Amino acid sequence: MQLINNIPVWGQPDLETVNQMTEAMKHEGMYAALMGDHHIGYSVPIGGVIAYEGRICVNGVGFDIACGNKAVRLSANADDTRGNIYRTMNEVAKHISFGVGRKNNERVDHQLFDDNIWNDIPMLKPIRDKAREQLGTVGSGNHYVDIFVDDLDRVWVGVHFGSRGLGHTIATHFIKAAGGADGVHAKPVVLDETSDLGEQYLKCMELAGRYAYAGRDWVCARVARILRADILEEVHNHHNFAWKEHHFGKDLWVVRKGATPNVPGAKSFVGGSMGDYSFILEGVESEESKTSLYSTIHGAGRIMGRAQAKGKRDRKTGEIIRKPLVSQCDMDAWVKKFDVELRGAGVDESPHCYKRIEEVLHAHRDTVKIIHRLKPIGVAMADERDYDPYKD
């Protein structure tokens, strides 16, 4: 860990990201930190932690409110799962809805739709039915459903996604209501926690958190059904959210965007790319843990933008304007070498676009303990033609 502009930074510093966090801190931020997977985000960096006293940052939490990871260990036999992985991934792609704006093909009832908040806050009422239809959908971008085996040859399922259209609508509404703007370099929208707008936002954020948890619960349970297995253990955590916590003698709103809570003794699930390991971690008490506001990575972190990976063509002529840095052959070769059965995804999600997660974790070696290493044997993502507008 090193200190840059009075911001603790883990891993190899990306100066554009450090500068973005430096600017974000000018808008009432009290403390900040950048995890080892940091990269540029909307107003506040991904892999960033920023804390406020009596304030909450809307675009710090981000558009995909409560995006997070869940991993479950199953009773399935590892040899049988490997032997049937082709059929299993076909079933996952058939029964789980991937892509933008998709509805769940199966009706999902959940008690959160009976909460009075849908009627109490005017902007929520007209989107309740859409949210109900989308519950349990995964979306696109870097969101996934993976099947793993760990080093003890046990089967796990891991998922990564958030609150979908509900979270995006909430974030967009409050940014606009506060007079803010959309954009990577837009000024952070910071609300007083006791203001009418701030109180409403916090209630909506909490609702989006429950919604995201319910969606990840449903997907994990649905994949367990496909594998005809029971869930034996689960690890579940947000990484686009804000928590009221006590640090340095103060009660603070700690905003973690693409950063995972890392309380000593608590477990978390962090994902690599489709051709890399993922991990179950446990928080460790240390001075660095305190400095990070008890936070850690949420994944490997990008080293290449989507447009860089895919390249660019003229829409009218089809002529190549910028050559892609990753080819389909490159991605296929990596995935084949790692022995992964892949459904969906494009070259912008290739392992070439990501840091190596073990190197990223090494930077946090004094704050986390590795409990399990998970190797993907099946990965499902949205089709490469899907663009995810839900951001962060």
pLDDT over 60 at 3, yes or no: yes
By the 10 Å C-beta count (0-12 exposed, 13-18 middle, 19+ buried), 249 is classed as exposed
- Residue 390, domain member (yes or no): no
Instruction: Count structural domains, the chain.
Output: 1
pLDDT over 90 at 119, yes or no: yes
Alpha helices by DSSP H, listed for 228-365, are: 287-291, 306-310, 328-337, 357-362
- Between 387 and 32, name the one with better pLDDT: 32
Q: What would the two tokens of residue 290 be?
A: 């305190």
Q: What is the dihedral of CA 254, 235, 357, 39, to 10 degrees?
A: -30
Amino acid present at 308: Q
Convert the pLDDT of each residue in 42-53 to its tens digit: 999 999 999 999
- Supply the CATH number for residue 317's domain: 3.90.1860.10
Percent of the chain with pLDDT over 90: 85
- The backbone torsions φ and ψ at residue 381, rounded to the nearest 5 degrees and listed phi first, read -140, 175
Helical pair 164-177 and 196-226, crossing angle rounded to 10 deg: 170
- Residue 388, domain member (yes or no): no
- Residue 391, domain member (yes or no): no
- Residue 52, domain member (yes or no): yes
Predicted local confidence at residue 93, as pLDDT = 93
pLDDT over 90 at 368, yes or no: yes
pLDDT over 70 at 15, yes or no: yes
Out of 178-187, 232-241, 316-325, which region has the weakest mean confidence (pLDDT)?
316-325
Question: DSSP of 336-389, one letter per residue?
Answer: HHTT-EEEEE-GGGSGGGB--HHHHHHTTTTTEEEEEEEEEEEEEEEETT---T
- Residue 389, domain member (yes or no): no
Q: Which of 13, 25, 36, 20 minimizes the C-alpha distance to 281?
A: 36
- The backbone torsions φ and ψ at residue 369, rounded to the nearest 5 degrees and listed phi first, read -120, 130
For residue 312, give the H/E element and its range: strand 312-313
Please, which contacts does 30-34 make with residues 24 or more away whose CB atoms are closer than 8 Å? Answer: 30/250, 30/252, 31/247, 31/248, 31/252, 31/293, 32/7, 33/7, 33/8, 33/9, 33/291, 33/292, 33/293, 33/295, 34/7, 34/8, 34/9, 34/10
State the Cα–Cα distance between residues 367 and 350, nearest whole angstrom.
28
Question: DSSP of 178-214, one letter per residue?
Answer: TT---STTPPP-EEETTSHHHHHHHHHHHHHHHHHHH
Amino acid present at 164: R
Convert the pLDDT of each residue in 271-283 to its tens digit: 999 999 999 999 9
What are the residues facing 51 on neighbouring strands?
31, 254
- Residue 269, domain member (yes or no): yes
State the Cα–Cα distance between residues 58 and 181, nearest whole angstrom.
11
Residue 260, helix vs strand vs coil: strand
- Residue 57, domain member (yes or no): yes
Domain range enclosing 132: 2-383
By the 10 Å C-beta count (0-12 exposed, 13-18 middle, 19+ buried), 24 is classed as buried
Convert the pLDDT of each residue in 327-364 to its tens digit: 999 999 999 999 999 999 989 999 999 999 999 999 99
pLDDT over 60 at 389, yes or no: no
- Residue 141, domain member (yes or no): yes
**pLDDT classification of 385: cutoffs 50, 70, 90:** low
Residue located via tokens 């494009």: 346
pLDDT over 80 at 384, yes or no: no
Q: What is the DSSP letter of 122?
A: T
**pLDDT classification of 312: cutoffs 50, 70, 90:** confident
pLDDT over 90 at 365, yes or no: yes
